[in-house]
Structure 1
Amino acid sequence: MTSVAFRTDLTTRAAYVSDASIYRRVPAAVVEPHTVEDIREALRTAAERGWPVTCRGGGTSVAGNAIGDGLVIDTSRYFNEILQIDPQARTARIRPGVVCDALRDAAAPFGLTYGPDPSTHSRCTVGGMVANNACGSHSVAWGTAAENLVSLKVMLADGREIEIGADSCSDPVLEDRLRQVRDAHLMVLRTELGQFPRQVSGYGLHYLLPENGFDMAKVFAGTEGTCGVITELTVRLVERPQATALAVLGFADVFDAAAAAPLLRRPGVYTVEGMGADLLAALRSRPGRETAGSELPEGGGWLYVELGAGTADEAGDAARSLVDALMREGRILDSVVVTGHDEARALWTIREASAGIVTRLPDGGEAWPGWEDSAVPPEHLADYLRDLYALLGRHGLQGIPFGHFGEGCVHLRIDFGLGTEDGVAGYRSFIEEAAALVARHGGSLSGEHGDGRARSELLPVIYSAEALGAFAEFKAAFDPDNFFNPGVLVDAEPIDQGIRPGPGIRHFDLTPVHAFSRDGGSFVSATNRCVGVGLCRSDVGSMCPSYQVTRDEVHSTRGRARILAEMLRGESVTDGWQSKETLEALDLCLSCKACSSECPVNVDMATYKAEFLYHHYKGRLRPMAHYAMGWLPLTSRVLEAIPGSARLANWILGFRPAEELVKRLAGIEPKRRMIHFAPVTLRKWFAKRAAAIEAEGERPAVVRSTVMLWPDTLTNFNAPDVGQAAVEVLEALGYRVVLPQGQVCCGLTWHSTGQLDMAKKVMSQSLDALEEALSQNLPIVGLEPSCTVMLTHEITELLPDDPRAAQLAGRVVTLAELVAEHDGAWPFGVVDAPAISQVHCHQEAQGTYDPDMAVLRKLGIDTDVIGSGCCGLAGNFGFEPGHFEVSQALGERELFPKVRAKGESTLVLADGFSCRTQVQQGTGVRAQHLAEVLRGALSSEAGGQSVPQGVPVEG
C-alpha cells in the first residue's frame, strides 16, 4: 500500500492531456511528489501496473515531451525547494520543480542569476529546462542549460538514486558503460555533435569526450525524461551585470536582421534576438493592441541587443557606440536605445509574448507548433530564413519566424490544417521537407526544448546510422526497459500520431449563446486558443488567481481549457455539457477575466464558464446560490416595491440565527456575512431630490451638458451613497445628471451564473429603456466596474444583432474618465493623503485604471495599487459554498495585509462593491469609491482635506 497520492480521477487526467505542443496523451495517473521517497514509491507502483513514466515541470514543452499515457510525475507543485545558494562557488542546489524566476530571485541578493531564461521563465521549471536543454535570450553570453549544469542526482527505474557530474558517477557500472559508448563512437561524436551552440537535437554525447571532461551531468541535459527522474540539481550561477542597456535595431527586413545577428556576438553583449514585421502585425491584430510596438524603431525586421556594464551610463554608451558603428556601415535603418527598466520591459514584452501571439495569425487563423525550434549555424541564418519562407509559400502556409538570431535559432508557428486528413498529410510533408532544408544548412531540428514527439522521428535526416546507434546505446545504459518517456528520441513515435486538434474528432453538436465573434462563432475554436504556453501558471500579473492559491493544474486557465477541449472531443470526457469533470474544473474559476487580456492569445475563461453553466443547467435544477445571487436584481426590486421591506430584511439579518437560516436556505457560504439593503434606493433619493429642487425653483448657474448615470443594481439598492456622491460630483463639474426612465440592468449576475437567456432578456429591456438617451448620444456614466465591462464588452457578444448594443457600448464611460477629461473649472481641493487602491479585476482586464490614477494624482493622493489582481470575492464566487478558503487566501496575498498595516490617514479605495465587501469582511475597514473621495474633496481647501478615512466598521 503506497502513501503516495495517485490522482487517477478523470478531471485531473484530462487537465494533463497536453503541454504546449500539438500532441495529446491521456495519462493513467498523475502524481505530485513531496519527497525523493515519493518518487521511488511512484516508480515502483508504475512498474507494477505497467505504466511508462513521464516527468513534467511547468508543462510548457512545445515538442510533446511532457505528456504520456502512463504515469505523469509533476514536480512543480511540491518538489520545488531551493536547498542552497552558494555565492562563493556561484552555484545553487535545488529540486527540479523550482521555477526559473524563483531561482533567479533567490540568487539576486548576491548579485547572481541563473543564465538560461526562455520566454516562459516565469513558470517553467529548472528541471524541465535541463531535461529539454532550454536556453533563452541570454544564451549568447551564458549558454544552454547543459552548459550551466554542475551535477545531478537521478533516480533510475529500479529506485536507485545516483549522482553524476564532470568525470564522476556514483554508479561505476553505469560509468563504465558510458565510457564504452563514447569510445565506440569517438569519430561520430566529434564530427556530428556539438558543431554549433544550438545543436540540441538528439543526445549531447559530445560532452562524454575527453576534451569535454567526460561530463555525465551535461550529457544528461537534453535527455527529455527518457533516462531517469531528476531528483536534485546543482547549477551554475552567473554574475549579473550592474547595469544594462537595450538597443533595438531596425533593418529593412527580417533577412537583413538575420545576416547582421552573428556579427553582434561579442563581449559585453547578452542578447541578440530577432523578429520581423509579420510578428508585429500579429500583435496588432489583438483587441486593444492596435498601436502596440510604437516604441520600435523604423524597419521591417528588428534585433534586440542587450549590453551590460558597470553603470547605466557605461551600458548606454556601449549600446550607442554599437549603433553608431552599424549605422556607419549602412546595416541598420533606425534604432532605439533605452537604459530604464520600464522602457526596456515594454520592448521585451513584445518579444516575450511571441510564443503566444503567433498562435493566432493577423487574419485570425490558428497557427501551431511543430517546426518550432530549428537552428542553424548563425552565419547561415539569413539564407535559411529565405529558404524557409519559400518553403512555406510552396506549401501555401503562413507562419511568423522569430527567435534567438544571434545563435541561429528560429521559432515558428504555422497554420497547418490539422483538423483534416489532408491537413495532417500536408503537415508531415512540410515537416519532412523542412528537416531536409535544415540539414542542407548544417543545422539541427531543435535549437532548444528538445525533439519530443514533434521531431524525434526525423533524427535520421540529420544524423548518421552510427550516431543513432550511439543514442540507442546511451538510452539503454540508463533505461534498458524503455520505462521512461517511450516514443521520444529513441524508437520514436511518428510525428503525426496522436495530434490533439487532429482529424476524426467527434465534437457534439452545439450552438453557443455567445457570438464568439473573434472565433468565427465557434466554441471549439475559442477553446483551441489555449496552446499551453502556461502564463496562467505564473506569479507575475493577476492571472490565474485560483491557480496562484491552489497550485493545481486543474485550476489553471490552461487546465480548464484542456478539460473543456476533452469535453468537446467526447473521447475521454464523454458526458458533453453534463460533464461533472468540466463543472469541477470550472468551479474555482473566479470569472475575473484576467486571462482575457493577460493571456497572450486572450483565452476568456469567464465567458467559457458562463457558456458551459448555461448548457449544463439548461432544463435542470440549479444550485440555490445561482438563484439567490443570480436573481439579486429582481429580489432587490421586490424589496424596493414594498415599503419598509428593506428595513425589515436588514432587521431580520441582524439576528445571527436568522442570518444563518437565510444563508442555509439561499445556498450561501456559511462563513460569509450577508449584504444589507439600503432603506432608500438611489432612484428614490434622486427622484425626491429632483422634486425638491423643482419645488424650490433652484437651477445651476451653468450646465455644460447632460450625462446619464447608470443606476446599477448594487449602487441603486445596496450602496446608494456612492451614487449620491457621483451625482454631487458631476453637478459640481457643471453637468446635468439624469437617470434612465425605466428599470435597467447589465445582466451581470445572470451572466456569471450562466443564466444567459435571462441576461439577454434584461439587456434587451435595458436597451428599450435607453432609446431616448441613445438617440441623444448622452454619455452614460458607470460606477460599478463589472457592470461597465458588461455594457462595453459582453452586451455585443450576447446581442450581436441588436445595433443598439454596440451603440450603448460606445457611450459608456467611467466616472474617472469623465473627471480626468474635464477641461473646465476644477472644483476639488487637494486631499494630500496616501491611499491603497484595489482595482476591480474586470476593469483591470478589459478597461483601464489610468484615468483614475490621473484624477488621484491631481487630488494629491499618493496611491499604492494592489498588484495581485482579483480581491478574491468576485461577485457571487465568494458567496458560493466551498469557495471561502480560496477567496480569503486571495485577499491575504496582498490586499488584506496592506489594509491592516495602513496608517491612520491612509485611504482605502475600491470602486467595486464586491471589493469593498471583501475588504470590510476581511479586515473590518470600510473602503471608498472614487465618487466618495471626490465628494469629500469638494469641501476641501487647498492644502487640507476632509475626506473620511478608511475606518474600522462592524464586520
Structure 2
Amino acid sequence: MGTPLLRELAEAGVPAEASQRRRSEYSYDASNYRVEPIAVAFPRTVGDVVAAVTACRSTGTPLIARGGGTSMAGNAVGPGLVLDFSRHMNRVLGIDEGSGMADVEPGVVLATLTRDVERQTGRRCTFAPDPSSKNRATVGGAIGNDACGNHSVRYGRTSDHVAEIDVVTADGARLTATETGLRATDPDDSFSAARAAALAESLAQLAHEHLGALRLELGRIPRQVSGYHLENLLPEKRFNIARALVGSEGTWAVVVGARMKFVPKPASALLVCLGYDDVVEAARDIPTILEFNPAAVEGTDEAIVETMRHRRGPDSVLGLPEGRAWLFVDLDGDDSAAVYAQADRLLARLAEDGRLVQGRAAADPAERASLWRVREDGAGLSSRLASGGESWPGWEDSAVAPERLADYLADLRELLAEHELTGVMYGHFGAGCMHIRITYELRTDEGRAVFRAFTRRAAQLVVQHGGSLSGEHGDGRARSELLPLMYSPEVMDAFARSRRLWDPEGILNPGSVTDPDPLDGSLALAGVPEREWRTSFDLRPSPGGTDAWVHAVQGCIGVGRCRSDSGGVMCPSYRATRDERDSTRGRARVLQDMVRGARSVEDGWRSEDVRDALDLCLSCKACATDCPAGVDMATYKSEFFDHYYRGRVRPLSHFSLGWLPRWLKLTGRLPRLVNAVMATPLGKALAAAGGLTTRRALPRFAGAAEWRREIADAGVCAAGQADAEDSVVLFVDTFTRGFRPEVAGAAARVLAGAENAVECSADACCGLTWISTGQLGTARRLLSHAAEVLDDGTDRPIVVVEPSCAAALHKDLPELVDTDQARRVAARVRSFAAHIAERVSGGWAPSPAQPVPEQAVLQAHCHEYSVFGAAAQRTALEAAGVRDVVDATGCCGVAGNFGFEKDHFDVSMQVAENALGPALRTTRDAAVLTDGFSCARQVDQLEPSRPGMHLAQVLDPGTAPRRRPTPTTRDLLTKEAEELL
C-alpha cells in the first residue's frame, strides 16, 4: 500500500483495497453523482472502525460510512476512505422481546432484521421501517438518512424506532447516544466519558441559544427530513440525542451499533387498490383515506405499470383496477372481518366523492405481492421506461403536509412543463412524500443547466407549500446547496455549529448538509468522452443520439436489488460471495468507468479491470428481468468478451465448451468409445487440458442417431404440416440431441397430445455456447442459418426443448441478426414449458401415462425465468396434478459453461447453496424438475441418486420417464469394438 493512509490501515490490520476496479465500484451510489474514493475498507469490528477513523484524522483524509449504497442523494460517495459496513458488520446481535428492542450492527439489512424479529417473536412483532430498498438497505444507512418506508403513515421514520446509537467520533471517542443524553460506550473509557460530557453540554447550550428558531422551523410536517433534527435537543423532547443524530448523514459520527425498537404486528392486513385518472386526482382523496387509519397509502402512475408489464410480462401486474394512477392502501387490525368491513366503507366513501375510477380489495396473496412489487421497484422501473425514455433522480424526495399534496403536485406539473420535462411520479402519498424521476438530459451542458434551474425552482415551490426538500433520502449532494431556501440563517448557523461540535476538523462525509458541494457538480453522466463503440448486439433504443453501448451500461442507476438475498434470481454470484464486485451493480459501475476512460479502465475493450469484474458473472440473464432498470449483464459480458479476446489467446474452456456443438458432432459418431475414455483417468486429463474442472462428473454423450430413434419411436412427428391447424414445430436443440435424446421423444408425445400435428426440426444451432463465451461472429452466422431454416412462412409456434436455446432464439437472435426474418422467427419461439402453459390456459389438460409425483422441486432455468417467465412449469405441473411444487428459486450454479470451468467450480457450488441445495435436502422424496441441461447436471452433482427430470418426461403420455443405466467401461469398449468390427 503506497499512501500514508493505506500504510496506516495495513499496520492496524484493517481490511482495505485501493485497486482501480474497487474504487470504480464505490464511486457511485444510487444518485446522479460519481466521486472516486482513495480506498475502500471493510471493517470487521468496532476496533477496525476506530483504527480507520484514526488513520483518516492523522492523514487529513475524508471518511464516508456506507451501508447498502442505495442513497439517492449522493450521501454514500466521497473523495476519501469509504467504510463498507454491509460486508462484515452485518449481524443481529440480540433480540429482547421483553424490552421490545434488537441490538444490531450497522450493516444488517433491514429485511433481515425484520425477518429475525418476526421469527423470534412468532410474528407477534416486527421492525417497522420498510423502505422499498429494505432487502438491501442497512440499518446504518436508515439511521443516516432517517429512512421511512411504505408504512410510515402508521409507523413514522427510523428516528421513531431508535433507542440508542453507538458511534465513533472523528477524534476516536466511542459514545452512545440515548433518548436522554450521551455517554461513553465503555464506562471505563475516561477519554470517551470526558468527550461525552463536553459534547452533551455544548449541544444543550446550542439548543438553548436557538429555542425559538428550532421550535418554529423544525419538525413541522411528518416527513421533514432536510437538515439536522435539532428539535430533538429541546427540553420538551428530553434532550433526545439519539433522535437528533438520526438523519445526520454520517457527518456527525460513524454509527457502529444501535438498539432498535420493534412494534406489535397486526394479525390481519388487507390491500385496497384504488384507480384514478391521474396522480393529482388520487392525491385529493388522501385526507379522506387518512380518516380510515391506514397503515400505508402508496401511489404510482401508469408509466411505471406499463414498464413493469413490458419488462416482465402481462402477468407481472395482477389485480390492478381501471385507471392511469393508483393508490395502494393497507388496512390492518386484529379482526379480519372488521378490516374487510373497513375496506368496504372506504370504497363506498371514495365512490361518493366522485374521483375514484375503480377500487377493489386485493385479498389474494399473489395479487398483493404483485402490486407491492410494482411500487417497490418504482425507482428502477421509472428510470428506463417502456417508451424508451430515461429519467433520473435529483428531485425525487420532496414532501409536504398530506393535505397539501394535490395542490403541490398540480403546481409541480406546471413547473415541469415550463422546463419541458416529464416527471414519473410515485411515492408515499399518505405521508405527503413524492418520489419523482425526471427526464433530465444530464449528458450535455444545456441539459445540466436545465437541471440546475429546475431544481432550484422546485425547491422554492415546495417551500411555498410549507414542505421539505427531502422527505426520506436526506439532502446529500442533491439538495444541501438549497437548504438556505428552506431555513433561516439562524437555523443554518445552528446546523453548522452542531456539525463542528461533533467533527471539528470536518473529515466526515464532506460536501453534504453544511458547506455543500454544488448540486450539479460531480455528475456521473458529465464528462464522458465521445467515442464510437461498435457492438454486435443491437442495444437500442439509444435516446438523444447517445452511443448504444454507453447508454446500455449507464442503465444501472444503483438501486441495488442485485444485492438482495431473497426474491428473484439475481445476482447469484453476489449471493454466494457477498462482495460488491460480484453484484450486477458492481460490474455495471466498472463498465461505466470504462466508457469514462477512468485510469486503468481507460483501456476500453482491452481493460483487465472489466475482465476481472465480469469473471464471476454466470450469464444467467436474471438481471435482465429482476433488475428494475433492466440491466442485462449477460449481454454486456458477451459483447465485452468478443472485443477483449480479439487477437488474444482465449481460455481453453472457450474452445472445449464454447465450441461444444462442434465436438458433439464428433462424439456422436463414437459415443460409447468417448464415454468409456472419459470415465477413465485419461478422460480427466483431457478435461483438465480443456480448462474443465475434474471435480464435476461429465455428462454421458449420446449417439448422433439416438434422438432420431426417440422421435421415430414417438411416431408423432411428420414433415409438411405447415398448413395443419394448430400444428407446431418441435425444435430439437443441440443439448437435447447430444445429451438428453430421450427428452425429445417425450416432448414430441406431449405436444402431439396437445396439438393436431407436430413437425420436428433439428437442422440448426442457436449459437448459445458461442454467445456466452463472446464469440459473436460465429454466433451470428449460426443464428442467421437458424432463421433461414425456421422461417417457413407460417406463424406456427416453434417449441424448443432446452430453455436456454429457446431464450437465445427468442432474445439474442433479433439482437444479433438485424433482419425481418430473424424477428419473425424470434416472435414464434417458445420454451417447452411456456408453450405447455399456454395450452393449459386454453383449456388443455395433460394426461401423463405414469402417476405424477405428489411433490416436485422446481428448478427453473435462469434463461427460462428471464425470457419466458417463472410460472410456466408450475402451471403445467399443477395442471397434471402435482399437489406440492417447491420452488428452488435461484440459479443452480452451473449456468452453461460456468460451472464446468476449473476456476469457477467452487463458486458454482456456493451458488447452488442459495436455493437448490437446501431445497433438495428438505424434500428427499420429491421429484426434481430440471428442464435446463445445466440444472440437471447440478442436481446430478448434488444428489446423483435423484436425477433431474424434464417437464416433458413428467407429462409424457406414452411411456414412463426413462434414464439409461450407466454401463461399465468394459461394456462400452466391448460394444464399441463390436460396432467397429
- TM-score norm. by structure 1 comes to 0.93
Q: Which residue of 2 aligns with 1:27?
A: 37
Structure 1 residue 288, shift from structure 2 partner: 4.3
Q: Is the 8 A contact 1:715 1:723 kept in 2?
A: yes
Q: Which residue of 1 aligns with 2:537?
A: 514
Partner amino acid, structure 2, of 1:2 = A
Q: Which residue of 1 aligns with 2:741?
A: 720
> Aligned pair in 2 of structure 1 residues 389, 901: CA closer, same or farther (>3 Å)?
closer
- Cα displacement string for residues 879-916 of structure 1 (whole angstroms, at most 9, x for unaligned residues): 12321111111212332233244344x32211111111
Q: Which residue of 1 aligns with 2:69?
A: 59
Provide the C-alpha distance between the structure 1 equivalents of 2:929 and 2:967, rounded to a whole number of angstroms: 15
Structure 1 residue 357, shift from structure 2 partner: 1.3
1:441 matches 2:458: no
Which SS does the other structure have where 1:411 is aligned? strand
> Aligned pair in 2 of structure 1 residues 112, 332: CA closer, same or farther (>3 Å)?
same
Provide the C-alpha distance between the structure 1 equivalents of 2:439 and 2:715, rounded to a whole number of angstroms: 64
Provide the C-alpha distance between the structure 2 equivalents of 1:744 and 1:599, rounded to a whole number of angstroms: 32
Q: Is the 8 A contact 2:710 2:741 kept in 1?
A: no
> Aligned pair in 2 of structure 1 residues 890, 293: CA closer, same or farther (>3 Å)?
closer
Which residue of the other structure, out of 868, 889, 905, is the alignment partner of 2:889?
868
Which SS does the other structure have where 1:630 is aligned? coil
- Cα displacement string for residues 713-732 of structure 1 (whole angstroms, at most 9, x for unaligned residues): 11111221211322344455
- Cα displacement string for residues 169-208 of structure 1 (whole angstroms, at most 9, x for unaligned residues): 1111110010111111111101111111111110010000
Provide the C-alpha distance between the structure 1 equivalents of 2:966 and 2:401, rounded to a whole number of angstroms: 66
Which residue of the other structure, out of 622, 646, 649, is the alignment partner of 1:594?
622
- Cα displacement string for residues 422-458 of structure 1 (whole angstroms, at most 9, x for unaligned residues): 1111111111111111111111110111000000011
Aligned length: 933
Which SS does the other structure have where 2:470 is aligned? coil
Provide the C-alpha distance between the structure 1 equivalents of 2:536 and 2:326, rounded to a whole number of angstroms: 43
Q: Is the 8 A contact 2:845 2:880 kept in 1?
A: no
1:384 matches 2:411: no
1:4 matches 2:14: yes
> Aligned pair in 2 of structure 1 residues 723, 950: CA closer, same or farther (>3 Å)?
closer
Q: Which residue of 1 aligns with 2:85?
A: 75
Q: Which residue of 1 aligns with 2:933?
A: 913
Structure 1 residue 859, shift from structure 2 partner: 2.6
Which SS does the other structure have where 2:528 is aligned? coil
Q: Which residue of 1 aligns with 2:822?
A: 805
1:571 matches 2:598: yes
1:831 matches 2:851: yes
Q: Which residue of 2 aligns with 1:192?
A: 217
- Give structure 2 stretches of 5+ with no counterpart: 1-10, 184-195, 970-981
Q: Which residue of 2 aligns with 1:227?
A: 252
Structure 1 residue 683, shift from structure 2 partner: 5.1
1:856 matches 2:877: yes
Matches within 5 A, 1:319-330: 319-330=343-354
- Cα displacement string for residues 561-596 of structure 1 (whole angstroms, at most 9, x for unaligned residues): 111000011023211111111111111111111111
Q: Which residue of 2 aligns with 1:748?
A: 768
Matches within 5 A, 1:527-538: 527-538=553-564
Q: Which residue of 2 aligns with 1:943?
A: none
1:679 matches 2:707: no
User: Relative to structure 2, which stretch is displaced further, 200-209 or 894-903?
Assistant: 894-903
Provide the C-alpha distance between the structure 1 equivalents of 2:345 and 2:397, rounded to a whole number of angstroms: 32
> Aligned pair in 2 of structure 1 residues 498, 950: CA closer, same or farther (>3 Å)?
farther
Q: Is the 8 A contact 2:67 2:137 kept in 1?
A: yes
Which residue of the other structure, out of 858, 883, 893, is the alignment partner of 2:904?
883
Q: Which residue of 2 aligns with 1:465?
A: 489
Which residue of the other structure, out of 245, 266, 284, is the alignment partner of 1:259?
284
1:17 matches 2:27: yes
Which residue of the other structure, out of 927, 950, 954, is the alignment partner of 1:929?
950
Q: Is the 8 A contact 1:829 1:859 kept in 2?
A: no
Structure 1 residue 534, shift from structure 2 partner: 0.8
Which SS does the other structure have where 2:902 is aligned? coil
Q: Is the 8 A contact 1:359 1:368 kept in 2?
A: yes
> Aligned pair in 2 of structure 1 residues 732, 245: CA closer, same or farther (>3 Å)?
closer
> Aligned pair in 2 of structure 1 residues 753, 134: CA closer, same or farther (>3 Å)?
same
- Cα displacement string for residues 457-481 of structure 1 (whole angstroms, at most 9, x for unaligned residues): 1111111111111001100111000
- Cα displacement string for residues 198-245 of structure 1 (whole angstroms, at most 9, x for unaligned residues): 111100100000111110000000000001111111111111111011
Provide the C-alpha distance between the structure 2 equivalents of 1:249 and 1:500, rounded to a whole number of angstroms: 38
- Taking only aligned residues, the RMSD between alpha carbons, in angstroms, comes to 2.7
Provide the C-alpha distance between the structure 1 equivalents of 2:889 and 2:717, rounded to a whole number of angstroms: 45
Provide the C-alpha distance between the structure 1 equivalents of 2:143 and 2:552, rounded to a whole number of angstroms: 33
Matches within 5 A, 1:547-562: 547-562=574-589
Partner amino acid, structure 2, of 1:444 = S
Q: Which residue of 1 aligns with 2:110?
A: 100
Provide the C-alpha distance between the structure 1 equivalents of 2:468 and 2:571, rounded to a whole number of angstroms: 36
Q: Is the 8 A contact 1:625 1:880 kept in 2?
A: yes
Partner amino acid, structure 1, of 2:534 = T
Q: Which residue of 2 aligns with 1:367?
A: 391
Provide the C-alpha distance between the structure 1 equivalents of 2:147 and 2:968, rounded to a whole number of angstroms: 54
Matches within 5 A, 1:609-620: 609-620=637-648
Matches within 5 A, 1:650-689: 650-655=675-680, 657-682=681-706, 684-685=708-709
Which SS does the other structure have where 2:311 is aligned? coil
Structure 1 residue 548, shift from structure 2 partner: 0.6
Structure 1 residue 681, shift from structure 2 partner: 3.7
Provide the C-alpha distance between the structure 2 equivalents of 1:166 and 1:46, rounded to a whole number of angstroms: 30
Partner amino acid, structure 1, of 2:805 = C
Q: Which residue of 1 aligns with 2:191?
A: none
Which SS does the other structure have where 1:664 is aligned? helix
Which SS does the other structure have where 1:575 is aligned? helix
1:765 matches 2:788: no
Q: Is the 8 A contact 2:574 2:583 kept in 1?
A: yes
- Cα displacement string for residues 366-385 of structure 1 (whole angstroms, at most 9, x for unaligned residues): 11100110111222211111
- Cα displacement string for residues 225-279 of structure 1 (whole angstroms, at most 9, x for unaligned residues): 0011111111111111110112222334322222221343347421122333444
Structure 1 residue 845, shift from structure 2 partner: 1.1
Q: Is the 8 A contact 2:383 2:390 kept in 1?
A: yes
- Give structure 1 stretches of 5+ with no counterpart: 940-945
Structure 1 residue 877, shift from structure 2 partner: 0.7
Q: Which residue of 1 aligns with 2:5?
A: none
Which SS does the other structure have where 2:392 is aligned? coil
1:608 matches 2:608: no
Q: Which residue of 2 aligns with 1:131?
A: 144
Which SS does the other structure have where 1:861 is aligned? coil
- Cα displacement string for residues 615-665 of structure 1 (whole angstroms, at most 9, x for unaligned residues): 11112211111111110111111333xx43x2222121111x212311221
Which residue of the other structure, out of 759, 781, 786, is the alignment partner of 2:799?
781
Provide the C-alpha distance between the structure 1 equivalents of 2:698 and 2:510, rounded to a whole number of angstroms: 55
1:401 matches 2:425: yes
User: Relative to structure 2, which stretch is displaced further, 74-83 or 341-350?
Assistant: 341-350
User: Relative to structure 2, which stretch is displaced further, 878-887 or 663-672?
Assistant: 663-672
Provide the C-alpha distance between the structure 2 equivalents of 1:671 and 1:140, rounded to a whole number of angstroms: 54
Partner amino acid, structure 2, of 1:780 = I
- Cα displacement string for residues 23-44 of structure 1 (whole angstroms, at most 9, x for unaligned residues): 0011111111111111112222
Partner amino acid, structure 1, of 2:581 = V
Q: Is the 8 A contact 1:900 1:923 kept in 2?
A: no
1:182 matches 2:201: no
Q: Is the 8 A contact 2:299 2:427 kept in 1?
A: yes
Provide the C-alpha distance between the structure 1 equivalents of 2:376 and 2:107, rounded to a whole number of angstroms: 22
Provide the C-alpha distance between the structure 2 equivalents of 1:885 and 1:407, rounded to a whole number of angstroms: 48
Q: Is the 8 A contact 1:355 1:533 kept in 2?
A: yes
> Aligned pair in 2 of structure 1 residues 867, 648: CA closer, same or farther (>3 Å)?
closer
> Aligned pair in 2 of structure 1 residues 954, 391: CA closer, same or farther (>3 Å)?
farther
> Aligned pair in 2 of structure 1 residues 682, 811: CA closer, same or farther (>3 Å)?
farther
Which SS does the other structure have where 1:269 is aligned? coil
Structure 1 residue 756, shift from structure 2 partner: 0.3
Which SS does the other structure have where 2:702 is aligned? coil
